[in-house]
Amino acid sequence: MKYIFGPVPSRRLGWSLGLDILPYKTCSFDCIYCELGPTTCRTIDPIGLIEPGAVLAELESFLAAHPEKIDFLTISGSGEPTLHPELGSLIRELKRHYTLPVALITNASLFFRPQVLEQVRAADLIIPSLDAVDPETLAAVNRPHPDLDHKSLLEGLLALGRLKGPRLWLEILLIKGLNDHPDQIDRFKQLSAAINPEKIQINTVVRPPVESWALPLETTRLAQIREQLGPQAEIIARPDRQSDRTIRWEDEIIKLVSRRPCTAEDLAQLTGWPPDETLALLQRLIAGGKITAAPFNQEMYYRCRTLDT
């Protein structure tokens, strides 16, 4: 599978089957906390290298072979999906062929363009990010393409908030000392009220970031911020640990950790294997040079980039 990954236990979408529609790693941002690695193609120009028809064909064969429960088809993956010029037709085709809801995870940088807004209209759920309440923080945290500015980003988010159709959950990813000052949280609250999402999802750095100095907030501080942001706000929880799901083992683990770093606990849940067997498998994969391991935030993360480079 080149364009389909998972299903993975998403912290907010349940069992999410990912659709990756951009080459690694194509994005309008180069966020300091990105778990995918540095942006190798930072652009705001449309990139249509992957044919929607190829994604749909792969999805069809995947679903035919894997009847397990899926909660969302999620367009995300190796960069910013709104850069794809045929995103709209892909979403419409997904809706035409399947009853599964379609979610889009986006950095929201391009919604100031009316044609990009139009492309996402058919999605069931859009999860845009807002990490910066001012231009300085945008530059420090998201490191956008030089032709993007904070004003356009906010205009795009406000326009997205007015779009009829998709549900909207706004994600705010907080990094210690960079965008978590109480004044910044107040401003997040004002901006969120103007955008008017159904939910505000508070996140922090939970997987190894591009920059090792991008640090997570403590649980107690996240809880304070949730209070400050009001009843729509929630801290994105870890996925349910009580899964009896069994899916496709060694190859699947390599594929999953090539997309994003995972802990042994994440992978034990995915495979349905006991943790000690999962650890033994991970050790074999490390010994065989197929994956690597590195500590972050008191947890060990396993990763592999060989499929993407």
Whose Cβ is closer to ligand SF4: residue 39's or residue 271's? 39
Q: Return the residue of 24, 29, 111, 273 that touches ligand SF4, per CB under 6 A.
A: 29
Whose Cβ is closer to ligand SF4: residue 20's or residue 86's? 20
Position 229 contacts ligand SF4 (CB under 6 A): no
Whose Cβ is closer to ligand SF4: residue 78's or residue 271's? 78
List phi, psi (to 5°) of 140. -75, -35
- Euclidean distance between CA atoms 35 and 27, whole angstroms: 13
Q: Return the residue of 6, 9, 18, 79 that touches ligand SF4, per CB under 6 A.
A: 79
Q: Return the residue of 8, 19, 21, 34 that touches ligand SF4, per CB under 6 A.
A: 34
Residues whose CB is less than 8 angstroms from the CB of residue 116 and which lie 6 or more positions away in sequence, other chains included? 82, 110, 156
- Residue range at the interface with ligand SF4 (CB under 6 A); choices 28-36, 43-51, 158-166, 180-188: 28-36
> Least distance to ligand SF4 from the beta carbon of 36, Å?
5
Give the torsion sign (CA, 193, 194, 197, 201): negative
The mark string for 288-307 relative to ligand SF4 (x by CB under 6 A, - otherwise) is --------------------
Whose Cβ is closer to ligand SF4: residue 268's or residue 304's? 304
- Euclidean distance between CA atoms 16 and 6, whole angstroms: 7
Residues whose CB is less than 8 angstroms from the CB of residue 227 and which lie 6 or more positions away in sequence, other chains included? none
How far CA 66 is from CA of 7, 59, 61, 240, 285, in Å, comes to: 10, 10, 9, 21, 25
Count, residues near ligand SF4 per rule CB under 6 A: 10
Q: Are 25 and 38 in contact (CB under 8 A)?
A: yes
Position 267 contacts ligand SF4 (CB under 6 A): no
Position 103 contacts ligand SF4 (CB under 6 A): no
β-pair partners for 14 = 10
- Euclidean distance between CA atoms 101 and 79, whole angstroms: 21
Q: What is the DSSP annotation of 121-151?
A: TT-SEEEEB---SSHHHIIIII---TT--HH
- Euclidean distance between CA atoms 20 and 72, whole angstroms: 14
Q: Return the residue of 11, 14, 23, 30 that touches ligand SF4, per CB under 6 A.
A: 30
Q: Are 13 and 124 in contact (CB under 8 A)?
A: no
Position 39 contacts ligand SF4 (CB under 6 A): yes
- Residue range at the interface with ligand SF4 (CB under 6 A); choices 24-32, 195-203, 217-225, 301-309: 24-32
> Least distance to ligand SF4 from the beta carbon of 110, Å?
11
Whose Cβ is closer to ligand SF4: residue 29's or residue 72's? 29
Three-state DSSP class for 270?
Answer: helix
Q: Return the residue of 36, 120, 122, 178 that touches ligand SF4, per CB under 6 A.
A: 36
- Euclidean distance between CA atoms 252 and 5, whole angstroms: 9
Whose Cβ is closer to ligand SF4: residue 24's or residue 72's? 24
Whose Cβ is closer to ligand SF4: residue 203's or residue 271's? 203
> Least distance to ligand SF4 from the beta carbon of 168, Å?
17
Three-state DSSP class for 2?
Answer: coil
Residue numbers at the binding site for ligand SF4 (CB under 6 A): 27, 29-31, 34, 36, 39, 79-80, 107
